[in-house]
């Protein structure tokens, strides 16, 4: 089935087409989500939200870009929404704790999991993902899509609605910021 045929069937709310869509893109969506969220449960929840949005809004898809580009855009958007909500919850929990109402504190999960990270590299991966989380939003998007999802500058520029030179610039700044952030980690861990 061609991409165009799949999209036509999705617009008709065909269940088999939706099943094929999920089977084809679920790994890409999950891996992208975990690159941003660094938590398997959050990534699974976000992936479900992505496919629900694709299903509900496929009529609006104009086929000006590839289906994968559109799905990446939705995935990135959902991940950033999730991170924003998490930050708001943490801020609210912190404010509550100042007033002694800490029963609703939001705590990061104590363990880090990413399917592509071997156990012996876990400590370095934790440091890297913490550093990635501190990047400005556009740098984080470009870095995750390029280094974790292995997308080309052209593909990233389509997803981010920017030029390839902007993507290059974002990646250069992200690498510089990560070097600076990780320098301290490696100095401490190797001393």
Q: Are residues 66 and 121 in the same domain?
A: no
Cβ–Cβ < 8 Å for 145, 159? yes
Q: Are residues 2 and 76 in the same domain?
A: yes
Q: What percent of the chain has pLDDT over 90?
A: 57
- Residue that has been written with the tokens 């910021």 in this structure: 177
The CATH number of residue 15's host domain is: 1.10.1740.10
Output the pLDDT for position 11. Answer: 94
38, 60, 83: which is the final residue of a domain?
83
**What domain count does the chain have?**
2
Q: Are residues 78 and 152 in the same domain?
A: no
DSSP string, 155-181: HHHHHHTS-HHHHHHHHHHHHHHHHHH
Cβ–Cβ < 8 Å for 67, 28? no
Tell me whether residue 152 is in a domain: yes
The CATH number of residue 187's host domain is: 1.10.10.10
Tell me whether residue 101 is in a domain: no
The pTM for the full model equals: 0.67
pLDDT (tens digit, 0 to 9) for every residue of the chain, 191 residues total? Answer: 899 999 999 999 999 999 999 999 999 999 999 989 988 999 999 999 999 999 999 999 988 889 999 999 999 999 999 988 877 666 555 444 444 444 443 334 334 455 554 445 556 677 888 888 889 999 999 998 998 888 999 999 999 999 999 999 999 999 999 998 888 766 665 55
Using a 10 angstrom Cβ sphere, with 0-12 exposed, 13-18 middle and 19 or more buried, the burial of residue 117 is middle
Q: Which two tokens stand for residue 20?
A: 């094929």
Output the pLDDT for position 123. Answer: 66
Residue 177's domain spans which residues?
A: 117-191
Output the pLDDT for position 188. Answer: 60
83, 98, 132: which is the final residue of a domain?
83
Neighbours of 95 (CB within 10 A): 10
Output the pLDDT for position 111. Answer: 44
């Amino acid at each position: 089935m061609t991409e165009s045929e799949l999209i036509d069937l999705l617009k008709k709310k065909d269940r088999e087409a939706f099943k094929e869509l999920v089977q084809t893109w679920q790994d890409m969506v999950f891996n992208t989500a975990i690159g941003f969220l660094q938590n398997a449960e959050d990534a699974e929840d976000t992936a479900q939200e992505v496919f629900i949005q694709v299903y509900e809004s496929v009529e609006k898809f104009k086929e000006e870009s590839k289906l994968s580009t559109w799905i990446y855009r939705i995935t990135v958007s959902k991940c950033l929404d999730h991170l924003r909500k998490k930050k708001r919850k943490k801020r609210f929990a912190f404010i509550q704790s100042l007033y002694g109402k800490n029963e609703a504190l939001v705590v990061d999960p104590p363990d880090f999991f990413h399917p592509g990270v071997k156990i012996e590299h876990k400590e370095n991966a934790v440091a890297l993902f913490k550093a990635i989380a501190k990047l400005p939003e556009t740098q984080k998007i470009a870095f995750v899509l390029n280094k974790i999802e292995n997308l080309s500058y052209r593909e990233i520029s389509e997803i981010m609605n920017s030029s390839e030179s902007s993507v290059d610039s974002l990646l250069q700044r992200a690498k510089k910021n990560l070097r600076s952030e990780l320098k301290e980690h490696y100095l401490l861990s190797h001393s």
